[in-house]
Amino acid sequence: MQLEVIGVGGAGCRIADAIRAAEPTDHSFLTDVFAFDTDESDLNRTVIPESNRFRYGPDESDGGLAGYLERGRTLGRDRVDDLLESADRATPGAADGVLVAVGLGGATGGGAAPALVSALQQRTDAPVYVLATLPADREFTRADPSESAPLAGDPNATTDAPPRPTAAANAVATLERLDGVASAIITFDNEDWLRPGETLADGRDRCNRELATRVAAVFTGGGSADSVAQTVIDASDIRRILGDQSSVVALGYGDQTVETNGSRFGLGLLSAEPDIETSEAVSAVETVVRKGIRGKLTLECDPETAERGLLIVGGPPAWLNRRAIAEGRRTLESAIGGSGILGGDAPRPDGDRVFAAVVLAGIRSDRLAELRSAADRTGRVD
């Protein structure tokens, strides 16, 4: 699948950066990557080429919007056509899908994303997916929850004030506006992935790498230039599973290092398939599939709530035991209790890991209800 990625706001641009870095060298899946932000300094910290970085908004918006979502919405609505025209001039290729990356707790990305996604849906027949990070509780919860949260930028705020008091309200308001607009919303919960006592600033690069690894595993799919998949997962398959009704999506992932011969004689011309015991290959596939389904998801949920599911098992071809992959698909079918299941393999001749990427679409999650309750406590954004 050929994917165009657009990062919006500071968090979205960092995620786009991480996805670009996670793209396999032997199997490109990105047509282009763009960064849209109101903060010039944040844009300059990305590794996205300068030609694909676009700052928008008046001079006074440089430096961010201090959590004011309505201001972000206004800027997004006013500048969305200019941003998309700039992107159209920068890339001539047509993508099979567009992925808009955004941090939902902020004002720039959260404010602009609904307008951007809506405009993209009108301009392309390809699906427009949103990759959204949910704010961690430590971003909007005070040390003493009995005290009311100060307004962003309040000079009298105490040191125990949360760094982003409006993050929960912003996230819920943005999710509501994306419902019915985005083809699907792939979610990543920072609260679940940050370590105890870790700040978002300290943990975000690690979290973004984890998220990017999962995105690359799902959207790369298929085989490589050196090896063809037995069952190819293509853009239409991903579209079928993710849907077009703004379903909430969680990603699972598991991997395991395996032995390879590592012999390419320095030329990439000669190689020999390693002699792998069938039991070893079966065990490796079963292990990563189990991790992908029952391990840590990007958004905590019961897999049984999913309406549709996708399983991609990849790695060195000699390790991709077809019987084990078929059994893994049956395991996913049993786990979600749904009928919309697809599965495929993704040979990676130069890799040294077997992996399983799992997509759970149409899920229900208690975490979203928790954010709505937090938004009600801190003040909902209309």
Which positions ≥6 away from 220 have C-beta within 8 Å? 1, 23, 24, 27, 29, 346
CA–CA distance, 284 with 317 (Å, rounded to integer): 13
Residue with tokens 């968090």: 11
Q: Find the DSSP H helices in 159-266.
A: 167-178, 190-193, 200-220, 235-242
Helices 167-178 and 69-90 sit at what angle, rounded to 10 degrees? 50
Is residue 307 a known part of a binding site?
Answer: no
Q: State the DSSP string of 20-35.
A: HHHS-TTS--EEEEEE
Which residues on adjacent β-strands are paired with residue 343?
A: 311
CA–CA distance, 1 with 23 (Å, rounded to integer): 12
Is residue 9 a known part of a binding site?
Answer: no
CA–CA distance, 304 with 364 (Å, rounded to integer): 9
Is residue 208 a known part of a binding site?
Answer: yes
Which positions ≥6 away from 147 have C-beta within 8 Å? none
Residue with tokens 């853009």: 235
Question: Could you tell me how far CA 214 lies from the centroid of its own chain?
Answer: 7
CA–CA distance, 99 with 360 (Å, rounded to integer): 17
Is residue 132 a known part of a binding site?
Answer: no
CA–CA distance, 127 with 233 (Å, rounded to integer): 16
Is residue 113 a known part of a binding site?
Answer: no
The two three-digit tokens of residue 223, written as one number: 């085989």
Residues in the chain: 382
Is residue 141 a known part of a binding site?
Answer: no
Binding-site positions for GTP read 107-109, 139, 190, 208
Binding-site positions read 107-109, 139, 190, 208
